[in-house]
Amino acid sequence: MVHGLLLLCHQALASPQLTPYQQLDTNGARDVTPFVIDDRHYMVIPQLAKDIPNTKANMNGGNSDVDVLIYRWRKDKFEIYQRLPGHGNESSEFFEIGSKKFLAIASIHSGPKPPFITPSYSMLYEWDGERFVPVQQFYGYASKSWKYFNLGDRHFLALANGVVLPNSKAKHDTSSVIYEYDGQKFIPFQTIPSSWAYQWEFFTIAGKHYLGLTDHLQPSKLYRWNGKQFSPFQEFTNTGGRAFTHFKIQGLHYLAFANISHPSVLYRWNGQSFEQYQEFQGLGGRNFLFYMRGKTPYLMRINFITGSRSNPKSNLASPLYAWKEGKFEIIQEIETFGGVNAAYFAIKDQKFIAIANSLSKDLRFKTHSILYQLQ
């Protein structure tokens, strides 16, 4: 039984959709990625930093030399299976090319304490049958996420880069990069302009391929494949972009745009571009999770922080919405602590949502990430 968690139920709901199932001992968790190998269930949680004893709480501090955690499902719970040495780990991406299984980890910086080394390396690992072993490293500047996708038999891996540090006179290349697999390794394919990029999204509409990239400082953008590379297609003007999430409901295409500085927005495809369809109240949006149960669509907004980075509020209500009469309505709110991402998955007949929490109420990195069971 998990104690000490606030589950706020909307008045219209008779019972919670999500109930706590397992606490995961994490430090600055920044992502959660479930996957299956040989019928065994695993889950990766990259960690940003761990607390330094006898120091003041600071979401921009800590010791960034911290492991990536790989869990394996055993006896009805997740247990630590492997630790990957890492630094400032921001995201994880599992994918397969033929019989090969890969895990990509994006790292924003390194160092045992501030000031951190922001130009750093992100790593690619390959499964050797028992463990993940490093096979390639990628130089980046404040890297925050990977995205794998394929166009036919061509395989791509995109890395989101960039940050603009206050009062810094140093000039760095903040561009994001798309790599292509040559059969042995990933090589640079295309550079995408970015300032403070966060997350990619890839999807296809009517045979045309789109790649989205969110950015904190400049407009987040959609790019469209023109047969040779990705070219600019549509801008979303609000700064503070964190994540795009594409999904379909009753044959129509939607794009949820998580924004930390402005209200997050749901867009709908009108046949030529995405137009605003629904605005979600509140700030602090970091990510969206979409899933179906039966014929009902659900959408969860993961909230990160409100306020400034020097004085943030991390304990926020992250709303779970259900699709009702053409709109998303809140049916439950779950208290998250610097929530960053969530994943929906099934193990046999059980359905779960795992949420990565990165910052406790007192702004410490040590805070549990939570596995919830869907009722």
The CATH number that applies at residue 302 is 2.120.10.70
177-200: b or e for each residue (b if 16 or more CB lie within 10 Å)?
bbbebeeeebeebbebebbbbbbb
pLDDT of residue 11 exceeding 60, the answer is no
Inter-residue contact 329 to 319 (CB < 8 Å) = no
pLDDT of residue 255 exceeding 60, the answer is yes
63: β partners: 50
Q: How many domains does the chain have?
A: 1
- The reply to whether 315 falls in a domain is yes
Q: For residue 13, what pLDDT is reported? A: 44
Q: For residue 15, what pLDDT is reported? A: 60
Q: For residue 12, what pLDDT is reported? A: 39
Domain residues for the domain of 26 are: 7-374
- The reply to whether 14 falls in a domain is yes
pLDDT of residue 4 exceeding 90, the answer is no
Q: Which of 138, 236, 243, 116 is nearest to 186 (CA)?
A: 138
Say how far apart CA 74 and CA 41 lie, in whole Å.
9
- What is the pLDDT of the chain when averaged over all its residues? 95
- The reply to whether 2 falls in a domain is no
Q: For residue 10, what pLDDT is reported? A: 40
In this prediction, residues 8-36 reach a mean pLDDT of 82
pLDDT of residue 234 exceeding 90, the answer is yes
Tell me, what DSSP letter sits at residue 362? T
In this prediction, residues 220-241 reach a mean pLDDT of 97
Q: For residue 339, what pLDDT is reported? A: 98
In this prediction, residues 143-161 reach a mean pLDDT of 98
- The reply to whether 161 falls in a domain is yes
The pTM (predicted TM-score) of the whole model is 0.95
Whole-angstrom distance between the N-terminal and C-terminal Cα of the chain?
15
- Which percentage of the chain shows pLDDT scores above 70? 96
Say how far apart CA 339 and CA 262 lie, in whole Å.
17
Q: pLDDT band at residue 46, thresholds of 50, 70 and 90?
A: very high
In this prediction, residues 226-250 reach a mean pLDDT of 97
80-134 pLDDT, tens digit per residue, is: 999 999 999 999 999 999 999 999 999 999 999 999 999 999 999 999 999 999 9
In this prediction, residues 317-333 reach a mean pLDDT of 97
- The reply to whether 1 falls in a domain is no
